[in-house]
Amino acid sequence: MSRRALRDIGKGLDLSACFRELDELPRPLTSAALFGREAPLEVELGSGKGLFLSAAAAEQPETNFLGIEVSLKYARHAAARCAQRALTNACVAHGDGLWVFRELIGPAKLAAVHVYFPDPWWKARHKKRRVMNAAFLADVERTLAPGGTLHFWTDVEEYFQASLETIAASTRLTGPLPVAETPALDDLDYRTHFERRTRLAGLPVYRAEFRRMR
């Protein structure tokens, strides 16, 4: 599904607490260095409009959340969603999330990694661009703390099955663990806008969770 046009960010909205360029991220990237407090850190790769990031941060104030989005306009939109809610435990970084995992995040630093509805790169010659590749998944396993979880959702069954095979072949993560579909309580009670559009269209969402045991 294609993305819809974004609404304008409100003029005068201060994004300084919720938005970072990659060169502004601490090195190494830790929860305390980024948010100024010790707390579990969860990272979302590909935050889109920021629906999951803002909702999760509001629901779990004891946890810090970092979203990474390659599109500047979407990164700023997601940051604005967090800023409008005055969330102090959510931040959006603009840039290449694979690089962030590879270069900035040390071993066992994350409580969870979230990947929701990544670009499926439909053409066979483009599939090598998919984010759920062996190198990234090795970084996920390395950066997750024991007991940490990987959450992966997509509306493309072929991508889902291929990703499960890659996870099994390239990591020792336990899974896939089943994830139940829950009824939406309101129009924004979805992980992402892609999930909302898919479910409202009556189409399936493929979900799995994986856990690092040690």
Pick from 113, 106, 91, 110: nearest CA to 45:
113
Active site residue 189: no
Q: Distances in Å between the alpha carbon of 194 and those of 19, 51, 188? A: 22, 10, 11
Rounded Cα gap, residues 1 and 197, in angstroms: 9
Quote the crossing angle between the two packed helices 134-143 and 157-170, to the nearest 10°.
60
Residue whose structure tokens are 């929701």: 116
Selected catalytic residue, list 8, 119, 155, 189:
119
Q: Is-contact 68 93, C-beta < 8 A?
A: yes
Q: Give the number of other CB atoms < 10 A from CB of residue 183.
A: 6
Prior bond to 183 cis, omega within 30?
A: no
Active site residues: 119
